[in-house]
Amino acid sequence: MAATRTAPPVVIGVDSSTQSTKAVVVDAATGAVRAVGRAAHTVTGEGGARESDPEQWWSALGEAVASALAAADVPAHTVTGIAVAGQQHGLVVLDAAGRPLRPAVLWNDTRSAPQAAELTAALGGPEGWLARTGSVPVASMTATTWQWLRAHEPAVTAATAAVRLPHDYLTERLSGAAATDPGDASGTCWYDTAAHAYDQEILDLLGLDPALLPAVAASGATRVGTLTPDAAHALGLPSGVAVAAGTGDNMAAAVGLGLGGAGLLDHPVVSLGTSGTVFAATRTRPAAGFAGLAGFAAADGTYLPLGCTLNCSLAVDRFAGLLGLDREDTAPGDGLVVLPYLDGERTPDLPHATGLVTGLRHTTTPRAILGAAYEGASFTVLRALDDLFSACGLDPSDAAVRDRPLRLIGGGAQGAAWRDTIRRLSGRPLVVPAATELVALGAAALAASAVTGEDPVALATAWGTGHGETLPPVARDEETWNRIASVLDRATPSLLT
């Protein structure tokens, strides 16, 4: 009689981002991706407004998980854990029944710029915030958005029974547990990264009752419960599936890369997506910071200093569309400077900025304009990386720091134009991981950890999800770098208005 074959256990990692939800079904032992499911989101708003319906995220999660499970062709009973990594900073306000009172305000909504300035001043300037939260309020951080909502929709804030981040909202829909993690909580500007707790004085400043907030789990890998019967039914899974606390998208990407803060910024990461992000893991809390940079916590309770720009691949693609070009049909900027700040900018802190093009001549080609847009976006991201090193006490011009390879991730990392521009403006070697769903894979490692109790960073390291192609350095294009820096520095006063 033939032996019955037992299917190996799998876990599900969910990446709920600005534009879509992706779910990966992962072999819990090897990290092999069995399948990926996707479902799109809708973002609404004009000018500085950017909003989404949280119910849409829940529907998209179910659709993505169902698609991934069908493609993986695994029995539902082999799923042992699930975790959600979500877009950071979004504000979700719920009524007493747990229903959204209004659309969520997203991380790239810049309407709260006045509130950011008022909050910064209320603690005596940037230093007061850096000492407590590791970050200075900028438009789009959750604290500034809450203040904007208090000013513009007081009836909504008065009716609010719960305040959640996007990933918190989905974790609660899965498990019934009101829980967050240190990583995503550190992006609110009301979490003290030194004390590892909500800052009561800041909550008082915001008029925010701590009872409205989720409990902070020890880490994103902490098991906060199991699927509720309703969630299990919606996903077609057993109700005993473990639910991890989850984390923010950047923190999950760090887990997926196997970054656990073993050294001081040894493995800097550049992520090219709708936003451009730079981060690195460290066990030492940054002692200083720059406005626009964030001293976040990591999902494992260490630290993940990070810089985020609002305008990256989406802005460059917009230039390609305006010029009627394919996104890869580019040439070097040829003396042009394009600052593609189409949504304002967060790093540098220019919430009211618009795009700028300068240096046009009769001989200018559309391909050169598009190339200059790549250069402007890449410069902004890479200068944020230099600021990140400086904020942590390292000299970005020092050879030992300058030669550290960059790990290039995100959708843009798959594009030749992005790779070439980042190499040329950084002068650094690049490591491009073979895995393309690092946020979801990081969430899968958190899910596996919630099941087994193993360290999620060690799990991801054993899975090898951070391995990939290494591209050698090329000579740094100092001329282009200095040209863009000069234009940005001269234009900043006008971009502030």
Instruction: Kindly state whether residue 428 falls inside one of the protein's structural domains.
Output: no
Q: How far, CA to CA in Å, does 489 sit from each of 206, 370, 486?
A: 34, 21, 5
pLDDT of residue 422: 98
**CATH number reported for the structural domain that contains residue 122 in this entry:** 3.30.420.40
pLDDT for position 497: 59
Domain assignment present for residue 262? The answer is: no
Backbone angles phi, psi at 306, to 5 degrees: -150, 145
State residue 1's pLDDT score: 36
Provide the residue range defining the domain that includes 166: 10-250
In a domain, 325, yes or no: no
pLDDT at 83: 98
pLDDT score, position 290: 60
Burial of 232 (0-12, 13-18, 19+ CB in 10 A): middle
| 467 in a structural domain | no
Cβ–Cβ under 8 Å, residues 157 and 151: no
> CA nearest 197: which of 175, 215, 211?
215
pLDDT value of residue 266: 64
Q: Is 382 among the domain residues?
A: no
Residue ranges in the chain modelled with pLDDT below 50: 1-5
Instruction: Map tokens 């230099």 to a residue.
Output: 386
Answer whether residue 270 is part of any domain: no
- 150 found inside a domain: yes
pLDDT tens-digit readout, 190-214: 999 989 999 999 999 999 999 999 9
SS3 letters across 176-222 = CCCEECHHHHCCCCCEECCCCEECHHHHHHHCCCHHHCCEECCCCCC
Does residue 168 carry a catalytic annotation? no
What is the count of structural domains for the chain?
Answer: 1
**What pLDDT score does 261 carry?**
55
Span 153-165, pLDDT tens digits: 999 999 999 999 9
Residue 386 belongs to some domain of the structure = no
Distance between CA 346 and CA 354 in Å, rounded? 12
Question: From the candidates 199, 249, 420, 477, which is the catalytic residue?
Answer: 249
DSSP per residue, 315-337: HHHHHHHHHT--TT-----TT-E
Pairing relationship of beta strands 104-105 and 51-52 according to DSSP bridges: antiparallel
In sequence order, the 6+-apart residues with CB closer than 8 A to the CB of 370 are: 316, 319, 320, 323, 325, 327, 329, 330, 331
